[in-house]
Structure 1
Amino acid sequence: MRASVRRRPLSWFFTLAFALSWAAWTPYILSGNGTGVWHFTFPGGQLGSQLLGVLPGAYLGPIASALLVTTVTEGRHGLRVWRSRMTRFRVGWGWYAVVIVSVPAALALATSAVTGQEPVMPPAAVLAVYLPGLVLQMVTTGLAEEPGWREFAMPRMQRRHGPVTATLIVGVLWGIWHLPLFLTDWGGGSLNGGVKPVEFVVTVVAFSFVMTYVFNRSGESMPLVMLLHTSVNNFNSVAWSEMFPSVDPGNIDHAFLLGSATAALVLLAVTRGRLGLRPAQEA
């Protein structure tokens, strides 16, 4: 088995990430928060149930699989490289400012384009909890997912397939990994005829091009990549409904798709498909 992992580290990573997460999510999917097969509801309301039902599987999948495969294939050297990317905070304050400002701005503009509604200034309470919410998202969603999909998978995929193909593969798998959660409160409890999950996967693939660009251009800074990912989640969950109080919540998915697709097309055109990849990263 160890020899197999060393020959096919990416295959093993993706297989383990799916198997471990989906197995850990099974009780949540079968519970009253999901299909209702199991007559038990996770406590704590929507937030508490997702922390107890979703987060364990998220941590057990990508990050645990990445650490396991890295240990088997590259040993201490691989873990040191992994740690160096995870602690690469020094990328210039401008990067952090751009991400923190541009993500809410892009999503607000996209929502206005989709709905024709102008955003309103959110209450002071929303502004007060925005940064703490971002920190919480970094510790939960960001830390659970990105050390696997971006830190482990992207460098290896890019060396083998180039940035565009690598982004497509990782983006599709990243999106599909979420699909069982559409049977739960996390995804609204309904597949909606398959339209909502398909739109989600397409959006995730488009957003992955933005993630790849930031990963490459920032010198593979994982804190910045995690901030980009969690800025979307945090804006959508904390500020979006307050800025667009009269808009149907379903439009948030359409806005994310429009914003991600637009940014992806711009980056592909400007970088000519390189997405910020440098020769040293390809070596």
Structure 2
Amino acid sequence: MSAIREGNSSTAGIAGVIRRRPLVSFFVLALGLSWVAWTPWILSRDGLGVWDYAFPRIFGTSQFTGMLFGAYVGPLGAAFIVTALTGGRAGLRVWVSRLLRWRVAPRWYAVALLAVPIAVLVLGTIASGGQVQAPSLVALALYVPALLLQMLTTGLAEEPGWRDFALPPLQERFGPLGAAAILGPLWGIWHLPLFLTEWGSWPDLTWLNVVEFVAFSALFNVVIMWLFNRSGQSLPIVMLFHVSLNNTVTVFWAEMFPTVGADQLQHVLLIGATVAAAITIALTRGRLGLPRTTPLVGRPAPEAAKIAA
């Protein structure tokens, strides 16, 4: 009986910490759960090679079998746990409602589907000095199926946590720019262990690659925040916008810009994100699309409202 009481006390203690510090708990769980789940992949032959085994390959990569579970259990799993403990069923309903918010103005679908691919292709044309090759018919045929796959993997694993769960209370407490300064870097840092795997081209990487990626994440997040706020906090729109970048680079970049290597690609994306973030901040005067009726930094709300707002 004593052991049972101690176990219940421990559980209650953890739940109590999560209820008192929901945002901190989310970030700790999001990073911790993913990093623990990725450890076998990192130590395998697909990473550091400490353990003599390799993960099964699907479509020529071990990322589906080695990375995907950790991606789901981190941001998505952490958001579910913290929302359930702090907001209960009401909080979960509000959290899920943004994920199902498909009915938005058509212009936001146009922005989500076209803005990033056009920007990436323009940047690639500039970086290659105009040496552009037409994509193959195979690449063109793969674009939409690959986009849908990215929605179910990258988009679904990440956005319900980073933007759906964490962004609204961060903006409420710290304002848009404060929220961007916290969320963007943490989003980038979450990826750090992946640089020790084939995802990060290990062992062919430098510290500059890592720093540039985190900086890019922080700046790209500024634009994602603007779209999240302006689209009425629609997760499908944000997911499409996010994965459009991944998909365009994966499907088209190597074929269309063969003279621009992976290292230069990271430079190009960082420059593009810097320009886009600067323009977004300037044109919105730092509000990043937050409605004028919303105070830049509001008074603290009850915990359930903080998480579900």
Q: Compute the TM-score of the two structures, normalised by the length of structure 2.
A: 0.88
Distance 1:142 1:185 in 2: 20
- Matched with 2:93 is 80
Matches within 5 A, 1:53-132: 53-132=66-145
Distance 1:280 1:142 in 2: 29
Distance 1:150 1:275 in 2: 14
Distance 2:201 2:77 in 1: 27
Q: How many equivalent residue pairs?
A: 283
Q: Give ranges in structure 2 of 5+ residues lacking alignment.
A: 1-13, 299-309
- Matched with 1:182 is 195
| Cα drift, residue 250 of structure 1 | 2.4
Q: Which of the pair has more CA radius of gyration?
A: 2
Distance 1:245 1:13 in 2: 41
| Cα drift, residue 44 of structure 1 | 1.3
CA contact (8 A) 1:183 1:191 kept: no
CA contact (8 A) 1:203 1:257 kept: yes
Distance 1:64 1:109 in 2: 37
Q: Compute the TM-score of the two structures, normalised by the length of structure 1.
A: 0.96
Q: Classify the secondary structure of the residue corresponding to 2:62.
A: helix
- Matched with 2:156 is 143
- Matched with 1:221 is 234
Q: Classify the secondary structure of the residue corresponding to 1:42.
A: coil
Alpha carbon RMSD of aligned pairs, Å?
Answer: 1.5
| Cα drift, residue 116 of structure 1 | 1.9
CA contact (8 A) 2:75 2:161 kept: yes
Distance 1:47 1:155 in 2: 38
- Matched with 1:199 is 212
Deviates more, 1:251-260 or 1:225-234: 251-260
- Matched with 1:270 is 283
For 2:252, give the aligned amino acid: A
Distance 1:191 1:241 in 2: 18
The Cα offsets for residues 34-80 of structure 1, whole Å up to 9 and x where unpaired, read as 00000001121674410000100000100000000000000111111
The Cα offsets for residues 221-255 of structure 1, whole Å up to 9 and x where unpaired, read as 00000001100110111111111123223222122
- Matched with 2:4 is none
Distance 2:265 2:239 in 1: 21
| Cα drift, residue 281 of structure 1 | 5.2
Taking a change above 3 Å as real, the CA distance of residues 77 and 280 of structure 1, as seen in their structure-2 partners, is: farther
Taking a change above 3 Å as real, the CA distance of residues 97 and 47 of structure 1, as seen in their structure-2 partners, is: farther
- Matched with 2:9 is none
Q: Classify the secondary structure of the residue corresponding to 2:262.
A: coil
